[in-house]
Amino acid sequence: MSIDLKSLGSKLAKYRGQLKESIAEVASTTDIDAARLAAIEAGHVEPSGDEVLILADHYRCDFKFFISNEQVAPFEQTETLYRAHGDDFTKEDRRSVQDFLYLCETEAFLMQALGHRPKNFAFVPTGTYYKGHGADAAAQLRVALGYADHAVPRDIYTEFRSVGVHVFRRKLGNSNISGLFIMHPVAGKCALVNHSEDIYRQRFSAAHEMAHAIFDSAQGASVSFERPGHLDMLEVRANRFASCFLMPPTFLAKLPAPSTWSDVDALRWANDLRVSCDALGIALKEAKHIEEAASERIRRLRIPREAKIDPELSEGLNPTQRERKARLLELGLSDFYVGLCFDAFSAGAISVGRLAEALLCSQGELAELAALYGRKLHGN
């Protein structure tokens, strides 16, 4: 099949434009001559097979997208994202979003290759009471996941992945962005949580993006900010879902009278729920368990960083391992995703080169990575 050079060049130029990279920057990173890159983007020159692979790796995209008219990429969604919120994404953040989309598509491919099937979950809202939609969806998802009505979810990342949402925690430079949701044309529902945020805020953000996956996938893409600039009922609904999922109303109703809590009590209950005091104070007021003054007092409290628990950082790690794994989490490499990559490699579904690409590292770094995650490479 002949390659449509105009289409190929347009796709390359579009990717480069979304990442705000110059021809010279791409040339420097890929070692492809700048003049030749310009000619390829203009549709005047056909790239070699190696050049297509190099550019696909640079843009974190399946090479088949560039050479086929049938392959799709999440251009429309990211274009929508950047049209509405372009000024909120730095150049580095755009690269992070591109890496995130690559991880989502790779995870979807590996899950299919290994026969992983997510649980089915769907919620159809009725009426126009958006906060009610959020509360009802949270209750139904908890039932679908096997939770008692008062049970507190611990590893929500695993839970959301189990119902088919690709959740990645990835560091973004803009701390005002809590997360984003994208309906990927290949991978499906994808949620990015800003790893720059506080650990417990990340949990709330993940649940918030889960709500967008349930209710708002038809929109294609959305960005969630820590402090929305205006009252958006979709965001209100997502916040209500997150609150009710993480802090079950039945659990809150069984707590000792919150109006009598000391600061120590409030901190203990927030940490037990693994939410911020801010989120807990709001939830208690919403449930009419406390008045405004008590809510504000709780909301001003802060749980010490060292007291917080990250479900994706094992307590058995030594300081060096913990630091290294935390850095990998910033890149999006969760235990689940890394395990999936090594399982696929062990099953012969991917090559060692593809394994390194999937893990965003060189082949020379694989042995160290395998040891950190308790895995082995063939021949070790």
| Pair (342, 198) in one structural domain | no
Asked if the structure places residue 286 within a domain, the reply is yes
Q: What is the pLDDT of residue 380?
A: 44
- The model's pLDDT over 286-304, given as tens digits with 9 standing for 90+, comes to 999 999 999 999 999 999 9
Q: Which of the residue ranges 64-68, 122-126, 159-163, 236-240 would you say has the lowest mean pLDDT? A: 64-68
Q: Are residues 209 and 123 in the same domain?
A: yes
Verify that 224 and 282 share a domain, yes or no: no
Q: Are residues 28 and 152 in the same domain?
A: no
Q: What is the mean pLDDT of residues 23-28?
A: 96
Would the pLDDT of 150 be above 60? yes
Residue 285, in any domain of the structure: yes
* CA distances for 120 relative to 106, 163, 189, 214, angstroms: 21, 6, 13, 12
* pLDDT tens column, 71-123: 667 777 888 888 888 888 999 999 999 999 999 999 999 999 999 999 999 99
Does residue 380 lie in a domain region?
A: no
Residue 347 has pLDDT above 60, yes or no: yes
Query: What is the model's pLDDT at position 322?
Result: 87
Q: Give me 120's structure tokens.
A: 């089915």
SS3 115: coil
- Do 140 and 259 fall into the same domain? no
83 and 103 fall within a common domain: yes
Task: Over range 184-188, report the average pLDDT.
Answer: 91
- For 181, phi then psi, to 5°, come to -120, 135
In a domain, 379, yes or no: no
Residue 1: pLDDT above 60? Answer: no
Average pLDDT over residues 334-358: 94
How far is C-alpha 171 from the geometric centre of its chain's CA atoms?
Answer: 10
Q: Is residue 168 part of a domain?
A: yes
My answer on whether 340 and 195 are in the same domain is: no
Query: Residue 16 maps to which CATH number?
Result: 1.10.260.40
- Residues 247-291: tens digit of each pLDDT: 999 999 999 999 999 999 999 999 999 999 999 999 999 999 999
**Gap between the Cα atoms of 106 and 108, Å rounded:** 5
Query: How confident is the model over 211-240, as a mean pLDDT?
Result: 86
Give, to the nearest 10 degrees, the angle between helix 75-85 and helix 5-18.
40
- pLDDT at site 220: 84
Q: Tell me, what's the pLDDT at 230?
A: 55
Nearest Cα neighbor of 158 from 336, 366, 371, 355 is 336
Between CA 290 and CA 376 the distance in angstroms is 53
Which of 15, 49, 71 marks a domain boundary?
Answer: 71
Residue 94's Cβ-side half-sphere holds a number of Cα atoms within 13 Å equal to 21
Q: Are residues 163 and 176 in the same domain?
A: yes
Residue 366 has a pLDDT of: 94
Taking residues 323-328, what's their average pLDDT? Answer: 90
The percentage of the chain sitting over the pLDDT mark of 70, rounded to a whole number, equals 97
Residue 68 pLDDT: 81
DSSP string for residues in 58-101:
HTT--HHHHH-SS---THHHHHHHHHHHGGGS-HHHHHHHHHHH
Residue 151 has pLDDT above 90, yes or no: no
pLDDT of res. 70: 67
Residue 145 vs residue 4, higher pLDDT: 145
Last residue of a domain, one of 71, 98, 129: 71
| Average pLDDT in the chain | 91
Name the pLDDT band for 227 (thresholds 50, 70, 90). low
289: containing domain: 255-310
Asked whether residue 82 is domain-assigned, the answer is: yes
227 shares a domain with 80:
yes
Which pLDDT does position 71 carry in this prediction? Answer: 64
Question: Cα dihedral angle (87, 92, 95, 101), rounded to 10 degrees?
Answer: -70
Angstrom CA distances, 57 to 52, 53, 62, 64, 358, stand at: 9, 6, 8, 12, 10
Q: What pLDDT, on the 0 to 100 scale, is given for residue 228? A: 55
% of the chain with per-residue pLDDT over 90: 71
Tell whether 378 is covered by a domain.
no
Q: Tell me: do 136 and 219 sit in the same domain.
A: yes
Domain stop point among 195, 229, 247: 247
Round to whole Å and give the CA distance between 186 and 104. Answer: 9
Q: Is residue 110 part of a domain?
A: yes
- Give yes or no for residue 167 having a pLDDT over 50: yes
Domain count for the chain, please give it. Answer: 4
Q: Are residues 273 and 347 in the same domain?
A: no
145 and 229 share one domain: yes
